[in-house]
Amino acid sequence: MNILVSGGLGFIGSHTVVELLQKKHKVVIIDNLHNSQRKTFSIIGHITQENCSFIDADCTDLLKLSKIFRVNNFNAIIHFAGFKSVSESVQNPLDYYRNNLLSTVNITKLAIKYNVNKLIFSSSATVYGNGISPFSEESPLLERTNPYGESKAMCERILLDTQKANPQLSLYLLRYFNPVGAHKSGLLGEVPNGVPNNLLPFITQVAKSKRERLLIYGNDYDTPDGTGVRDYIHVVDLAKGHIAALESNRTGVNIYNFGTGRGTSVLELVHAFEKVNNVKIPYEIVARRPGDLAVSYADVSKAKRELNWEAKLTIEDMVRDAWNFEKNLKD
């Protein structure tokens, strides 16, 4: 198939492109390099020994996006492009609403216009808001605790309404929990711009002495050790989940949680990193961040039942691969 991957040089997007190319799909990547790097494109080629196309473009630019659709006959779209930091969204809500909603509207508008009848959307567990874990796909979408989550919920609403008006569109809403890890080659992983917003890249930067200590935001949550609990999923497992969605013949609306179904606390992840990699991680407890939940983990039974997909890699795999990638990075 000929697949458009928006945000395809980002953390999750790049790993998904690798899996697509290894499955011999044809791929066109659109990325504006806002939170990604151009060199990732050549790394993907090195890992896969396959060719794909990269276009430097912003999905909020409808005119440029239209030209791309006009000259390509896409069979499906995987839409990753979007801002993704919870804390940043609290500080800059207008940026998040403009970017995430407009890029989704544009992608969807062109999918309809050019008869691309399969759209896979990169959603988030944050759409469940301040509900109680484990979250299933039938869990109510309660009040979101941050603009990032709200923007994802709004995008889902836009897509659902569009699909209702255009029933030929097969829509897949994939709600990720907490992607971490890196490709086993050590060549592809998460490279945040500036101070990492996500936990594991922060840990690896501390391990490499790029940062003095890890900041743990709150140890007074109602959890076994007081730190926040999340459902961490290896990015390679997550990428393979997109392949399962792409290759599924289910039509209409399909919503899936992508996680492991198990919660791990911040301190448990830190201690796993220390044990597996034999590196001590100094940390400091600081105040909670606005918008953070105490506990979030998935019910993943639907994805296993309908897509025949489940996460295989462990917390130990995640911290090992993330550290292997960080060690290979040139500072």
Q: Which residues are catalytic?
A: 148
C-alpha dihedral (59, 62, 68, 70), degrees to nearest 10: 150
Residue 307 corresponds to which amino acid? L
DSSP string, 210-229: SSS-EEEE-S-SSSTTSS-E
Rounded Cα distance between 59 and 309, Å, is: 29
Beta strands in 161-308 (DSSP E): 170-176, 178-180, 214-217, 229-230, 232-234, 253-258, 264-265, 283-286, 295-296
Rounded Cα distance between 234 and 309, Å, is: 13
Rounded Cα distance between 331 and 327, Å, is: 10
Are 170 and 250 in contact by the 8 Å Cβ rule? The answer is yes
Are 201 and 190 in contact by the 8 Å Cβ rule? The answer is yes
Q: Could you tell me which of 58, 52, 42 has the C-alpha nearest to residue 72?
A: 52
The token duo for 13 is 């997007």
- In the numeric block, the tokens 């100094």 are attached to 282
**Max Cα-Cα span within the chain:** 55
Identify the sign of the CA torsion 292, 297, 298, 299. negative
Identify the sign of the CA torsion 174, 179, 183, 187. positive
Cα separation values, 187 from 38, 44, 220, 235, 328, Å: 14, 9, 37, 14, 7
